[in-house]
Amino acid sequence: DGASTVDLKPACGIGSYRAGDGNGLITGISVGGQGSFVYDGLVTSFDRWLTPHALKQRRFRFVSDNTVGPEGDIRAFVLASYPTTQNATNVHLTNCALSLGCVSTTDGDQPIVCSCVQACLSEKVSWIIVLDGALSLIRIVGTCDGSSGSINLDMDIVSGIQLELGFPNTTPAPTGGPTKEPTKNPTPIPTT
C-alpha cells in the first residue's frame, strides 16, 4: 500500500538529570509508488567548546521505488508521539483516491491532479485531499480501530465532501422511499 514506518527512541533525556521519556512514530506513504524510510548516514559536528565530532545525528529519509517525473508524487507523513512506558501508537495510511471519486488518467498526471490519503490514528479516520497540486481538504470522515486499521466511514460526510469538491456522488442513494406513487383522488379516511 506504499506506507512505511520508523520508530524513534530517545538516546538521552533533557540534560543529565532526566532520562528520555518520549518516543516518536513516523508513518509515511507515497501515492506514486512503494515508499520506505532508509538510513541516510551519520552526521557529526562541533559542540559549543569546539570539540570535533561531539554532536552526532543519525539521518533517515523517505524514498519511493518509482522515479518522480513531471507527474509528481503525493506523500503524507504522520508523527505520533507516545511515552516510553507504553507500546507504540498504531497509524495506518492508505490511498483513498477511488473512494473519493478520483478517476485514473491516461497521461500519467494522476497523483498531482487528484489524490486522497486516508489516515487512521487512534480511533479517528481522516482524509487528506490534494486537487490540482494543492492541499484542498483535511477532514475527519469516520472512526477506526487503531490496532487493526479497520474503518467505518460516515457516508454522509463522504457525500458532503464529494459534493463540496464537485465529484459525482458515488455513494448509494437511500432506499427508504415510497413504494407507490400518490394518486390524485385519495380515498377518504373513515370516521367513527
Q: Give mean pLDDT, residues 20-34.
A: 87
Question: Rounded to an integer, what distance in angstroms lies between the CA atom of residue 171 and that of residue 177?
Answer: 16
- Band of pLDDT at residue 152, cut at 50, 70 and 90: very high
Q: What percent of the chain has pLDDT over 70?
A: 80
For residue 138, the Cα-to-chain-centroid distance in whole angstroms is: 9
The reported pLDDT for the residue numbered 16 is: 67
What is the side-by-side order of every strand in the sheet holding 124-131? 91-95, 114-121, 124-131, 134-144, 151-153
105-116 pLDDT per residue, tens: 444 456 778 899
Cα-only R_g, the chain: 25
Q: Give mean pLDDT, residues 25-29.
A: 92
The reported pLDDT for the residue numbered 112 is: 78
Question: Rounded to an integer, what distance in angstroms lies between the CA atom of residue 47 and that of residue 38?
Answer: 27
Q: Give mean pLDDT, residues 115-141.
A: 92
- The yes-or-no verdict on residue 157 having pLDDT over 90 is yes
Contact 55, 46 (CB under 8 A): yes
Question: Rounded to an integer, what distance in angstroms lies between the CA atom of residue 38 and that of residue 22?
Answer: 22
What is the pTM for the complete model shown? 0.71
36-72 pLDDT per residue, tens: 999 888 888 888 899 988 888 888 899 888 888 777 8
